[in-house]
Chain A
């Protein structure tokens, strides 16, 4: 096959198609190398974008975050970025705005809140609620 897979239409595919996750040979242990140090192929969905699915987006306020990682484990879209046991932000290319991370965040006030997709993040931070009297979790 001389054509690259990305130039082929669906009707040009042969039966049984292979999609590549990485460029070239992988000579490292995948479980030991973080995504930023991997050489992804164009055919890896990491290179695709679903940010336009969102109506609302999660905004992260690190001032209240206790790095519990509940948001990390329950995100269905691999969009909570955790490095060295710290929550460092949301991957807006892959986040679909489901709101699970906000729901499971245990701090009071929450360290993640949903805002309209068009709200500016800095603006959102100025609108952060105070600690509420109702019990957190």
Chain B
């Protein structure tokens, strides 16, 4: 029964035997655990998982409890990538030496890191893993902020968001730097498969996770993770806000195969204005003051331009 789980629809998906347990201490409504459940439930294979320091790691391994029904390791903030790469290399070596028999099924190797761990502090470790070509899947839980330490800005924080180290106030509209384009950066490593996913679009997400599991070599998945605490919306609104993110194209869903072949995988029937996405999250509420209206206009222009760019890349196949 190894390999990807056959998932025809949500009903068949729901027969999955869960491997991520409740009574972790992530906030009510946290998207991190929705993402983790979707990924773990998508495969029947045994799993070797690592997590970087951050909300997911801290909240799922509170002594003396673990929420993981699979092999799981945590070392530091910066190195969930190398922890799992090491396990992957060891698995290969032990099989070569015959110390793990060929009758033992191959597990899948998955590393989770937040955007702080991925875009900033663990970046060189991640880059090294991709350059060496480990057979693993790296999943960034992108909530655009250092959530676990109270909401400092990261290089994933978008322009105009108020974070504790880039607060909006009488003289500032919050974060000034544009978000780092990590997906293109990971594709430029020559990764065989890179994709952006969102848990609200579960079908698209599962398709990409399955492709990721089937791909040999280092796979990068950027998972949008709406954070009720730092984006400051109510816990029951997680899926609603996620829908606004994908349908406004602030988080476009696409994949890049072998560094060049770009496919857009979700085209919203009704594209919603970026203004609606921003308006749903109090981290952007100051942008609605008259003096900052121009920033909302610029936001829309940036999103439009990027969507245009993705479509051109898709067409050109380069």
Is A120 on the interface with B (CB-CB < 8 A)? no
The prevalent SS among residues of B at the interface is loop
**Which partner residue on chain A sits nearest B46 by CB separation?**
A30
Are A99 and B236 interface neighbours, CB within 8 A? Answer: yes
Is A125 on the interface with B (CB-CB < 8 A)? no
Are B5 and A44 interface neighbours, CB within 8 A? Answer: no
Over the window 1-31 of chain B, the binary record of Cβ atoms lying under 8 Å from chain A Cβ atoms (1 yes, 0 no) is 1100100001111111111111111101111
Are B235 and A29 interface neighbours, CB within 8 A? Answer: no
Contact of A98 among B13, B29, B64 (CB under 8 A): B29
Q: Which residues of A contact B11 (CB under 8 A)?
A: 67-69, 85
Are B25 and A50 interface neighbours, CB within 8 A? Answer: yes
**Which partner residue on chain A sits nearest B105 by CB separation?**
A29
Is B239 on the interface with A (CB-CB < 8 A)? yes
Bound Cα distance from A73 to B242, whole angstroms? 14
Are A49 and B237 interface neighbours, CB within 8 A? Answer: no
Which residues of A (10-42) have their CB < 8 Å from a CB of B? 10, 13, 17, 19-22, 29-35, 38, 42
Is B304 on the interface with A (CB-CB < 8 A)? no
Bound Cα distance from A104 to B25, whole angstroms? 22
Is B57 on the interface with A (CB-CB < 8 A)? no
9-residue interface stretch from B37-45, B162-170, B284-292: B37-45
Contact of A82 among B15, B64, B65, B234 (CB under 8 A): B15
Q: Which residues of A contact B5 (CB under 8 A)?
A: 31
Contacts A35-B17, A44-B66, A45-B66 given; indicate if A103 touches B239 (C-beta within 8 A). yes
Count contacts on B: residues with CB < 8 A to the other chain: 54
Are B44 and A29 interface neighbours, CB within 8 A? Answer: yes
Is B79 on the interface with A (CB-CB < 8 A)? no
Bound Cα distance from A114 to B269, whole angstroms? 31
Bound Cα distance from A10 to B63, whole angstroms? 8
**Which partner residue on chain A sits nearest B5 by CB separation?**
A31
Are B63 and A93 interface neighbours, CB within 8 A? Answer: no
Q: Which residues of B contact A85 (CB under 8 A)?
A: 11-12, 14-15
Bound Cα distance from A75 to B35, whole angstroms? 10
Count contacts on A: residues with CB < 8 A to the other chain: 57
Bound Cα distance from A96 to B238, whole angstroms? 14
Are B17 and A32 interface neighbours, CB within 8 A? Answer: yes
Q: Which residues of B contact A35 (CB under 8 A)?
A: 17-18
* Nearest CB of chain A from residue B282's CB, rounded to whole Å: 18
9-residue interface stretch from B67-75, B87-95, B215-223, B249-257: B67-75
Bound Cα distance from A97 to B228, whole angstroms? 14
Contact of A21 among B28, B37, B46, B66 (CB under 8 A): B66
Are A50 and B10 interface neighbours, CB within 8 A? Answer: no
Q: Which residues of A contact B131 (CB under 8 A)?
A: none
Is A5 on the interface with B (CB-CB < 8 A)? yes
* Nearest CB of chain A from residue B74's CB, rounded to whole Å: 10
Are A78 and B22 interface neighbours, CB within 8 A? Answer: yes
A residues whose Cβ falls under 8 Å from a Cβ of B: 5-6, 8, 10, 13, 17, 19-22, 29-35, 38, 42-50, 53, 67-70, 72-79, 82-85, 87, 91, 93-100, 102-104
Closest A-B pairs by Cβ, 6 of them: A94-B22, A99-B236, A98-B28, A98-B29, A48-B23, A96-B28
8 contacts between A and B (CB under 8 A): A31-B5, A31-B17, A34-B17, A45-B67, A46-B21, A69-B14, A76-B33, A79-B22
